[in-house]
Each structure stands twice: as C-alpha cells, then as structure tokens.
Chains A and B, each alone.
Chain A
C-alpha cells in the first residue's frame, strides 16, 4: 500500500543543517501493523509526519496505492489526508472547547458527511470505544486513557485506510496504555493499516513488523513472528 523510496529530509536553521531522514526506503502492505522505533532524534516522528503529509521531504518518492503523494499541492494533500488517513497523537490533541462528541464529529464535517450520517457514525464509534456516557464531556473532564480513546475514535470515524499513531501511550500509565494498544490491535484485525512510532518495546510487540531507525537511516527490520502468522 505504501512505497517510500530514497526519502530525504533536512532541517535547516541559521547555523546548523540537520539531516532527519537520510535515504529512507520503506514498504507497508495493506492491513499491516508497523512499529517504528529508535532513539530520540533518529527521525521517527519526521518520517511519520511525512507519511501523514504534514511535512514535505527534500527528495524521494512516496507512493500510496500507486499515487505519488510528494507531487501534490497543499490543497490536494489536505484532501488526500482527510479521505485516507487518521491520526493519534501522544498528547491526544483534542480541542478543549469541544465535547467528546463534537471532537469526534470534526473530521466528518471536514469530509462533508451529511448531518444524519455524521450522528450515526459518531454514535457508532462512541459505542465501539465504550465512551457513550462521556460523549457530552469536555476533554479536561476525562482521564488520559479516556482522552486517548476519544482521539482514537476521532482517527477512526472516517474509516481511514491508514492510521498513523505517534507514541499513542506516551502519556498514559501502563493499564491505560495497554487498553489503547489492544484497541489498535482490534482495529488492525478489522483491516486498518497502522503505522506507529514508539519508544516502548512492549507497545511494539503488538505490531507485525518493527523498523529501527538511527540518524535518519533504517538500520534494521524485525518481523514479529507471532503477529505475522496471525496476519498470514
């Protein structure tokens, strides 16, 4: 589904030039659950941002089901993103002024889904995520785990082909963290492709494949045997 070749990304400040991605090659199949690991500053988040079309690389190719995405303009990128991708962030990034229901509804509004259909989809995902009794609450009124459930619900409500998760359990305790990971696994089992950036080997163990980055290079790839068999 995803073919990334020779991806390069350089950050320039007035004095320093930092190569964040240095000739990255990466293929992700549909339905796969891929974890990206590596030390701080190795380029994990940059790679995820490029995959989510939130950042532009200097060179390389990024194909999503045969569509080259790096040649798209801002408007096309925005359109592609909202139709095909969902995001889960470490710090949840829920809008404080909106309720749980409204936060989840937001991507559907941008996708111009009619009101009735929108309500149905939001209610459906709220039920699935087990947060029905929280739908009228504001984010500050929820625990971290609950907030991340809402964030996951928001990422999934548009039924994206790809979910990009940036340290989804980074701000959670182990119990809530496990809950979120199980949620992602369930999603993956229903066919959603997931790419997750994580520091945690425990979280990575939930995925099919683990890619290790260092200094902007892919230094190793590890197949998670138990999970791969499941996939096969």
Chain B
C-alpha cells in the first residue's frame, strides 16, 4: 500500500512540476531563513553555557538614582564572602583602560582588551590557561596571552614556557613576563587578547572606588531573592560604616545571572535581546507564510485528487488511511525542502556571519540543529498538511466520482483568509523597511552639529593631562610638530572622542547640583571638530586662565542649570570654580538614539580621566601625504608612544553608532524581500488554479462577447480586493510597530505616509502582474477548445 501511495504521490508531483517546485522551493527558502535565525538565536542565548557552574553564577550590581552599573567596590566581595555561607566563591574582574603595545623583537602586538581577574574570578568564570590555572604568589600577577596573540608575538613557539616581552615603545625599557597562552572562547562574554591573574585584587581599595565587577558562585538551591536582599542590606551598612556616603536610601544592589549578561544585562541595554526577538519573529513569520502557501496550494489541488479519493473510498479505504497518505506526501515534500534549505543556508551563511559578526556553522554539533530540524519538519508537516489532508480525505465518493469537486465554503474562506494574512505580513515588512530607510536617510543627512570628516583619530599611550598626572606631558610640543606638517589644519587631544561614552561627574551652578557629562579637552578641540559656537568664545591660548578654570558648556547644560546669561557665570565641580567662557550648540556626539546630554568642557580637571585621544584635522587633498609623514615621523613627534602609528578615521568610528540600525535595515530588507517573494510565489500558483478552474467560464464569456481586458479585470478583481483588505488590516499594525521603533530614537522623523502608499502600490502592482501573467493563457486560449475540454 505504501509503495502504491508513494508512486501516486511521486507521479502527481511530477505531473505538477511547476507547482511542486514553487511549493518546495518557497518552503526551502523560508526554512533556510528560519534555520539561520534559529542557529543565531541558540548561539546568542548560550554564551558561557559551557561553564559547569553556569546556573549558579551572578554579577553583583548597584542601582543609583540615575543609572545602574556592574562596577562596584572591591571590599564588597570580601564582605559578601565572609557573611553569607550560601556564596561558594566571590571573585573580581576588571578590564584594561587603554590599548597596550607588547613587543618581542620585531613582532608587535596591540592589545585592546586585557582582562584582569583575581584567582577566584578566574575559577568561577572557567578561565583556564593552557598550562592550567595557578594562584600567583603574593602580589605577583600571571599574565597569559590568547593563542592568537601568542602566535603574533612568538610565531615559532611550540612549548608552554614563560617568555620575556617589552611593553610600550621600544625605548621605554619596560619589560614583563608572559606566563603562557590561553585559549580565547569566542562564545563567551569574556573575550580578551590576554588575561592577567592576581591572587587578590583591590586589597587597598575602599567603598569610594568602584573599579571592579564582582562575580559570585552560589551554592545550588540558594534562595537568590533572599540573598539579593541580604547583600543590599550589607552594602548599605558597609557604605555607612565607611563614612564615604551618608545617604544610602536611593542606592541598592542587585544580582544579575550570568545567563543575562550577553543579551539583557540589568546594568546595560537590551537592544541585542530586542533584535533577537524581532529576528526570531521574522523567521517564524516567513516560515508561516511558506506553510500557508503549502496549505493553500494543497487545498487548491484538491479538485485534482478528488477522483483518487473517491475511487479509494469505494474500494474500502478508511478516512484515516487517506489522511495519513496525504500527510506522508506533504512530509516528503517538506523533507526535500529541509535538505534544500540546509544547502541554501550553507550558501548564505558567510554573508549572515559577516552581517552579525558571528561564526556560525551548520555542521557544528552543539548548535542543536540535529534535534531541532526533525522537530520542525514534523511541525511544518502538521501545520501545512493537516487541513488539506482532512479536506481531501473528507470527500464524499458519490459526489466526487460524479465530478463534483467543489470544496466547502469554510475552505474558500480559509484559503482567501490565508492569502490575506500572507499579504498582511508582507505589507508590514514593506512599511517597516521603508520607514527604517527614511530614518537612516535622515540620520545620514541631518546635521549632527560637528564634522568628523577629514578628522583622524590617533591611538596613543602618552598622557596629556593638565595638571600633570603621573607620567603625563604637555600636548603643546606635539601640536607644534604636527602643525608643521603641511596639510594639518588643527590638532587636539581629549579624554573622549565623539561617538564614545563621556565621563559623568557632579557639578553645581545657579543653586542646582546635577550629574552631567564632562570632556577634558585641549585648545583647538572645537575648531578641529567644527563645533558651532552659540555665544562667548572657545578656549584660546591668548587667555592664560583657560588652562586653569575656564569652561565651555553646551545648550543642554544651560537649560539644565537654568542660566539666563551663562557666559561669565560660575560652575563648580571637582573642587574647582570654573568660569563659563562660551556656550556651544548641542551636537549629537552619541548619535541619534540618545538625547544630547548636558556637557561641560574644560582643559583643567584634576580628577578627570586620561587625556589620550588625539584628533587631527587634515586637508582632504593631502590626507595620504600627511598620514605617511605622521607614520614615518611618529617616534619623533610622540616619543613616549613609540614607533607604532595607529589611527582610525573619526567619521568611520562615529558611523559605528549607526551599525546596529544598518544591521536592522539589512535584516528587514531580506525579510521583506523574502516574504514578498514567497507570497507572490504562492499567489502565482494559486492564480493558476483559479484560472484553470474558471476556464469554461472564461470561454463562455468570450463567446458571449467579452474582450480580453474585461476578462483580466474579472480575474484580477477578487485578488485586488484581497490585497487591498490586507493593506487596510496591516496599516494600523505597521503604524504601531514603526512608531514604537522610532520612539527608540531621541532624534527621529515623523511617521511618513509614503511607505503606506508605496506598500499598497507595490503589493497591488505585483498582484496584478502575477495574476495577469497566469490568466493570460486562459484568456488567449481558443474558447472552443476550453469547452470541448470540459
């Protein structure tokens, strides 16, 4: 019986090759998209899952009135370990604050990220050097470099023995020991170029120094909520005891599981999580559309299978046998689609990996595909197949054998309903894509208030703080040397560059005390970035006091402190009374998502961060020439930084703020194209069945005098109405979704009408073309043939 059913199925599929190809091809494309999304989702949700203590590891964070942070004081870790027996272990980690140069002879390594961890944290986070994790003696540190970093420095090294290396410029004379190599796990929250392990960290720190992140490993069965409360009470008590803080009411601690760290940390944003949810929804919707095609085409094909059902029933087939037969047929098609989908996914994977900056592989056993795929196969077979199988197996033999194949009214409504649903999704995607495009266009063309073009950001290890911090030097000699190079327009240095995060500190003015952003700059900062002055002046060498207590603030800061005439007023912070000498227009240093923060710019800041970020404005026509000169003369220009000239273009760095949205744009472009493509495929096949079913009617109408246009109109009418309904249903939904998305931007466009009109035009036009192409054969056929055929 199975063999015979198989034969019927295969011959049937072969007979309807076109439809079969559309059906299986559409499903394969959708499945490929779904497989990629699924792989990405399981990759993104399983960071650090290989850690045997994954479920018992928590980060201790602090909530302040303005923000949440994972940076806490080191003594808290010791206090937690001493007071709570349910805490198995408590460890500290921190990152290195700037890029470090490591040298071995002529081999140079620029490390961006050295993870500093104490022994307990290394144990908790499963950080294992290749030679095994050892506890360093006393205050010594054991520094390991990632396997890739080791290869750069010691290309021929085979053993695991320690090596002596130089730090910084060749003439710095600073050396150190690298204890060995450590494998970098790219599927972990803790990625590094190297790891520095100490026996203990933050021994001499107090509760005012929030420099570390605390990781706790809890004993299994620990009541986390209770512990969270206990740690909160302990932290407040310790803060009061330390006399560093008097008001602890508005401060609290929280525990955040390791599982949250990658996608939705409590102290951080959950944009990655939202994108993942959006992406998963897109994947599911695309698959649903393809399943709808299957269902719709299978019901449409019912007429052709009616006789077979009737005959089999007459011969004694039970309904369940026929239901099973049709389900098996659909299963076989889905199976072929899965195999094709895997091939397609493999082809698309390199681009996908590039877009999302991941290294996914279909053939990786841990990605879970080996059990997810069979499950999906069964689910889509069921979703796409159960209704057509029930419809087909439910035919009354006495009716269908007389040639009456009409399916029920319910199936008519279902078929049309499903078609409308498909187009609803397509319309939402089109509107979303067009809105994303409009917002991105706005972001690219809108004046951000400063000019990053032709500004080169030079990476540098020399500190140019004023007043001098330990080992820092004046920026003036450097500026002079650079300005001597023909083509250099201006040069400056600051603690932060636009596009990065600024520092936050408390400043008082006009009777108001508030935490606002600060940037410590040098002369020519505003000129280099072409920032617009609103009133007063920029910093100038002509004014001796600018080095001491002058400040420039932005419009938002003026509003924050309620200044009427800001220039000449005083603003106090870090123990200095600054005189406001100028007000600049707000500029979007953080891109379009966050509102411009009240910001103060000063040259002098005794408590500021390291002033290391050099920015040079260069004439466009002499860019290559200037960069070549800087490179060749760098060790003379900036002797403390050494011979390694490293730079990036500021506009590219600032452009990275747009990357997430551009990623979203690519995803929506792919999703919208796919949904449209699959929906049109379905429509194409569906229209074919509809016109075939109406071939006699068309012939009769032609005989009675209808012209081609009238018949095209007749056939298109019902599809036109369906697509119009789909548009009307989708518009409110698309409006809500795009509005929500736009609300994530501080600076955004008003919801445009054009995407809504365009979505209607695109879908209607595509529908008319598709249906007309299909109807053409029926319309052009000789009516006599059609009637004879009937």
Of A45, A49, A82, A96, the residue contacting B316 (CB under 8 A) is: A82
Q: Which residues of A contact B319 (CB under 8 A)?
A: 74
- Complex Cα gap A165–B307 (Å): 17
B307: which of A95, A102, A109 is its contact (CB, 8 Å)?
A95
Which residues of B are found within 8 Å of A45, using beta-carbon distances? 402
Which residues in window 304-345 of B have CB below 8 A to A? 307-308, 310-319
Partner of B7, one of A55, A98, A110: A98
CB of A63 to closest CB in B, whole Å:
21
Of all chain A residues, the one with the shortest Cβ separation from B317 is A110
Please determine whether A81 and B316 come into contact, CB atoms closer than 8 angstroms.
yes
Cα–Cα distance between A107 and B1 once the two chains are bound (Å): 10
Closest to A154 in B: B315
A97 with B316: CB separation less than 8 A: no
Contact A102 to B7, CB < 8 A, known contacts A93-B401, A95-B307: yes
Q: How far is the CA of A111 from the CA of B402 in the complex (A)?
A: 25
Instruction: Give the chain B neighbours of A224 by CB distance below 8 A.
Output: none
Interface band, chain A: 20 to 34
Q: Is the CB of A89 within 8 A of B308?
A: no
- In the complex, what residues of A have CB within 8 A of residue B314's CB? 52, 54, 81, 87, 93
Given A89-B401, A97-B11, is A107 in contact with B4 using a C-beta cutoff of 8 Å? no
Distance of A82 Cα from B8 Cα, bound (Å): 21
A75 and B7 form a contact (CB under 8 A)? no
Q: In chain B, what residue has the closest Cβ to A83?
A: B316
Cα–Cα, bound, A97→B314 (Å) = 17
- Give CA–CA (A79, B319) in the complex, Å: 12
Give A97 to B10 CA distance when docked, in angstroms. 9
User: In the bound complex, do residue B4 and residue A49 qualify as a contact, i.e. CB atoms below 8 Å apart?
Assistant: no
Chain B residues with CB under 8 Å of A107's CB are: 315-316
**How far does the alpha carbon of A81 sit from the alpha carbon of B15 in the complex, in Å?**
31
What residues of chain B lie closer than 8 Å to A111, measured between beta carbons?
316
CB-CB under 8 A for A93 and B398, given A78-B318, A82-B316, A110-B316? no
- Tell me whether B401 and A105 are in contact (CB under 8 A): no
Residues of chain B in range 655-687 having any CB-CB distance to chain A below 8 Å: none
Given that A54-B397, A55-B398 are contacting pairs, would A97 and B8 also be in contact in the complex, using a CB cutoff of 8 Å? yes
C-alpha spacing A40/B69, complex, angstroms: 88
Whole-angstrom distance from the CB of A71 to the nearest CB of chain B?
Answer: 19
**Residue count of chain B within 8 Å CB distance of chain A:** 25
Interface residue ranges of B1-19 to A (CB < 8 Å): 1, 4, 7-8, 11-12, 15
Nearest residue in A to B13 (C-beta to C-beta)? A97
Does A187 belong to the interface (CB within 8 Å)?
no
Question: In the complex the two chains form, is A97's CB within 8 Å of B15's CB?
Answer: yes
Q: Which of A46-91 contact B (CB under 8 A)?
A: 49, 52, 54-55, 74-75, 78-79, 81-83, 87, 89, 91
Q: Is the CB of B307 within 8 A of A93?
A: yes
A82 touches B12 (CB 8 A): no
Tell me whether A121 is interfacial, beta carbon within 8 Å.
Answer: no
A176 to B12: give the CA distance in the assembly, Å. Answer: 30
B401 touches A106 (CB 8 A): no
Q: B interface, by DSSP: helix, strand, loop or mixed?
A: helix
Please determine whether A97 and B308 come into contact, CB atoms closer than 8 angstroms: yes
Please tell me if the beta carbons of A109 and B4 are within 8 angstroms of each other in the complex. Answer: yes
B395 to chain A, nearest CB (A): 12
- CB of B315 within 8 A of CB of A110, answer yes
User: At the interface, yes or no: B403 with Cβ under 8 Å from chain A?
Assistant: yes
- Which residue of the partner chain B has the closest CB to A94? B311
* Chain A residues positioned under 8 Å from B8 (CB to CB): 95, 97-98
Contact among A74, A78, A82, A93 with B310 in the assembled complex (CB-CB below 8 Å): A93
**By the criterion CB–CB under 8 Å, are B398 and A49 in contact?**
yes
Residues B12 and A97 in contact, CB atoms below 8 Å apart: yes
> Which residue on A lies nearest to B311, using beta carbons?
A93
Q: Name the CB-closest residue of A to B14.
A: A97
Task: Give the complex CA separation of A102 and B15 in angstroms.
Answer: 18
Closest CB in chain B relative to A107 CB, distance in Å: 4
Q: In the complex the two chains form, what is the Cα distance from A54 to B315 in whole Å?
A: 11
**Which residues 87-141 of B have a CB within 8 angstroms of A?**
none
The chain B residue with its CB closest to the CB of A164 is B314
Q: Measured between alpha carbons, how far is A95 from B322 in the docked complex, in Å?
A: 14
Are B4 and A98 interface neighbours, CB within 8 A?
yes
User: Smallest CB–CB gap between A93 and chain B, Å?
Assistant: 5
Taking CB atoms, residues of chain A closer than 8 Å to B307 are: 93, 95-96
Would you call A54 and B308 a contact (CB within 8 A)? Answer: no
Minimum CB distance partner of B15 in chain A: A97
- B residues in contact with A95, CB < 8 Å: 8, 307-308, 311-312
Q: How far is the CB of B564 from chain A (nearest CB, A)?
A: 81
Q: Name the residue on A nearest B9 (C-beta).
A: A97
Residue of A nearest to B308 (CB): A95
Which residue of the partner chain, among A74, A78, A102, contacts B4 with CB atoms under 8 Å? A102
Contact with A along B283-322 (1 / 0, CB 8 A): 0000000000000000000000001101111111111000
Query: How close is A100's CB to chain B, nearest CB, in angstroms?
Result: 13
Contact of A106 with B312 in the complex, beta carbons under 8 Å: yes
Identify the 4 closest CB pairs spanning chains A and B, nearest first.
A82-B316, A97-B11, A54-B398, A110-B316
Please name 20 pairs of A and B residues whose Cβ atoms are closer than 8 Å in the assembled complex, sorted by A: A54-B397, A55-B398, A74-B319, A75-B318, A78-B313, A78-B318, A82-B315, A82-B316, A89-B401, A91-B401, A93-B307, A93-B401, A95-B8, A95-B307, A95-B308, A97-B15, A98-B4, A106-B311, A109-B4, A110-B312
Q: A109-B4, A110-B315 are in contact. List 7 more A-B contacts (CB 8 A).
A: A52-B314, A81-B314, A95-B311, A97-B15, A98-B8, A98-B11, A110-B312
* Residues of chain B whose beta carbon lies under 8 Å from any beta carbon of chain A: 1, 4, 7-8, 11-12, 15, 307-308, 310-319, 396-398, 401-403
Give chain A's interface residues, CB within 8 Å of chain B. 45, 49, 52, 54-55, 74-75, 78-79, 81-83, 87, 89, 91, 93-98, 102, 105-107, 109-111
